[in-house]
Structure 1
Amino acid sequence: MRLLLMSDTHLPRRAKRLPAPLLDELPCSDVVLHAGDWVDTATLDLLESRSRRLVGVYGNNDGPDLRARLPEIAYADLGGLRFGVIHETGPARGRDIRCAARFPGLDVLVFGHSHIPWDTTAPTGLRLLNPGSPTDRRRQPHCTYMTAVVTGGRLTEVELHRLPRR
């Protein structure tokens, strides 16, 4: 099962559209996970129409229209792993311990908010992934997103994709 992970798309504030390399991943992905800060409903509509399965949450920049359609926290069983998706997890310091305590039944937690890619594993085994942002790099050298594969109840081939600068 191939996964596409993204967050903090902030359309149309930060960019006019999602980058072509990210859109090219949609037909190759079994599940798309979006960790919030969509900003516009058009992006949600686009991903719903072009994804086989979409698991998404709202973020702090998402208004009432998006909050009416998306949960604050989403859960999904994917290929034998229990995933959670949330927008914000708080400060980087202590994140792994804090998230492991808050989400004890999860194998993987996908989050956003910081626009900073993150890939760590808590002592409990919880894998924490932040794909960064495909449209707003902030202080990062590149805009980013992630792909991963779930096979045999394991998360493999987790890859951070750097997008070319515009």
Structure 2
Amino acid sequence: MRLLLMSDTHLPKRAKRLPEELLAELPRADVVFHAGDWVDSATLDLLESRSRRLVAVYGNNDGPELRARLPEVAYADLGGLRFGVVHETGPAQGREARCAARFPDLDVLVFGHSHIPWDTVAPGGLRLLNPGSPTDRRRQPHRTYLTATVADGALGDVTLRRLPQR
């Protein structure tokens, strides 16, 4: 099972549209994750129409329309793993312990907000993944997203994808 993870698209504030490289990944993904801060409903409509399965949440920059359509926290059982998605996890310091305590039954937590790619394992084995942002790199050297696979009850091939400079 192939996964595509993104967050913090902030359209159309940070970019006019999703990068072509990211859009080209959609048909290859069995499940698409978006960890919030869409800003516009058109991007949600696009991902719903082009994704086989979308697991998504709203973020702190998302208004009433997106909040009415999306949960604050989403869950999915995929290939024997329990995934969660949330936008905000708080400061980097203490993140692993805080998330392990908040989400004790998860195997993988996808989050956003910081625009900073993150891949760590918390005490107890919770894997924390932040794909960064495909449209707004902020202080990062690249715009990014993640791909991964699930096979035989294990997460594998977690790869940070860097998008070319605009």
Give the TM-score taking structure 1 as reference length.
1.00
In structure 1, list runs of 5 or more residues that go unmatched.
none
1:84 is matched with 84
Give aligned pairs, total: 166
Match in the other structure for 2:140: 140
Distance apart, 1:75 and its partner CA: 0.3
Give the distance between the partners of 1:123 and 1:159, measured in 2 at CA.
22
Residue 159 of structure 2 is aligned to residue 155 of structure 1: no
Q: Which amino acid aligns with 1:7?
A: S
| 1:16-56 C-alpha deviation (Å, 9 max, x unpaired) | 00001100000000000000000000000000000000000
- Report SS of the residue matched to 2:97: helix
| Counterpart amino acid of residue 35 in structure 2 | A
What residue in structure 2 maps to residue 101 of structure 1?
Answer: 101
State the shift of 1:57 in Å. 0.1
Deviations 1:52-95 (A, max 9, x none): 00000000000000000000000000111000000000000000
Q: Counterpart of 2:164 in structure 1: which amino acid? A: P
Distance (Å, rounded) in 1 between the aligned partners of 2:160 and 2:22:
12
1:100-131 per-position Cα deviation (integer Å, ceiling 9, x unaligned): 00000000000000000000001210000000
User: Which 4+ runs in 1 deviate beyond 2 A?
Assistant: none
- The one-letter code sitting in structure 2 at the alignment partner of 1:81 is L
Aligned residue for 2:70? 70
Aligned partners of 2:7, 2:123: CA distance in 1, in Å?
25
Deviation at 1:3, TM superposition (A): 0.3
Once the two structures are superposed, the pairs formed by residues 7-18 of structure 1 within 5 Å of their partners are: 7-18=7-18
Between the aligned partners of 1:8 and 1:96, the Cα distance in structure 2 is 21
> Partner of 1:17: helix, strand, or coil?
coil
- Is 1:22 equivalent to 2:28 in the alignment? no
Q: Find the aligned partners of 1:125 and 1:22 in 2 and give their Cα distance.
A: 29
Structure 2 CA distance, aligned partners of 1:123 and 1:155? 17
Structure 2 segments unaligned to the other structure (5+ residues): none
Q: What is the percent sequence identity of the aligned residues?
A: 83
Q: Which amino acid aligns with 2:8?
A: D
1-side partners of 2:20 and 2:63: how far apart? 26
**Alpha-carbon shift at residue 161 of structure 1 (Å):** 0.2
